[in-house]
Amino acid sequence: MASTAPKGFIGQLRRWAWNYSGFNRYGLKYHDILHETPEVVEALRRLPENVVDERNFRIVRALQLSMQKVYLPKEEWMTYEQDDYYLKQYLEEVEREAAERKEWAKK
């Protein structure tokens, strides 16, 4: 099985930026913190219900921790390898459809 760990300088820089952002200390994944543009909202609508429930749990827990001004215990922090970018395929699909609609509107 191929490793998903970043390689080279750019990979190390990505890992550093991911860890430096701090959202992982609250147990959040990268796609949990995306600004909700119309494309992101549509991608979220297409997610399976269990994935939406997991996302909502992580967000509510992070809000609670933030209000209490505490972090999760270190062993519960999200790691770079655990972050699965669960919204990526849905977001790419929505963006492709939007580009296709724009192309059809030109004709």
The CATH code of the domain that includes 72 is: 1.10.1090.10
The sign one gets for the Cα dihedral 8, 35, 46, 59 is: positive
Domain ranges, residue 82: 18-106
Q: Kindly report the pTM of this predicted structure.
A: 0.82
Task: Encode pLDDT of 90-100 as tens digits.
Answer: 999 999 999 99
Query: How far is it, in rounded angstroms, from Cα 29 to Cα 79?
Result: 9
Query: How far is it, in rounded angstroms, from Cα 27 to Cα 58?
Result: 6
Structure tokens at 89: 């395929």
* Structural domains counted in the chain: 1
Q: Between these two residues, 56 and 106, which has the higher pLDDT value?
A: 56
Percent of the chain residues topping a pLDDT of 70 = 94
Would you say residue 5 has pLDDT above 60?
no
Evaluate whether residue 51 is within a structural domain.
Answer: yes
pLDDT at 1: 42
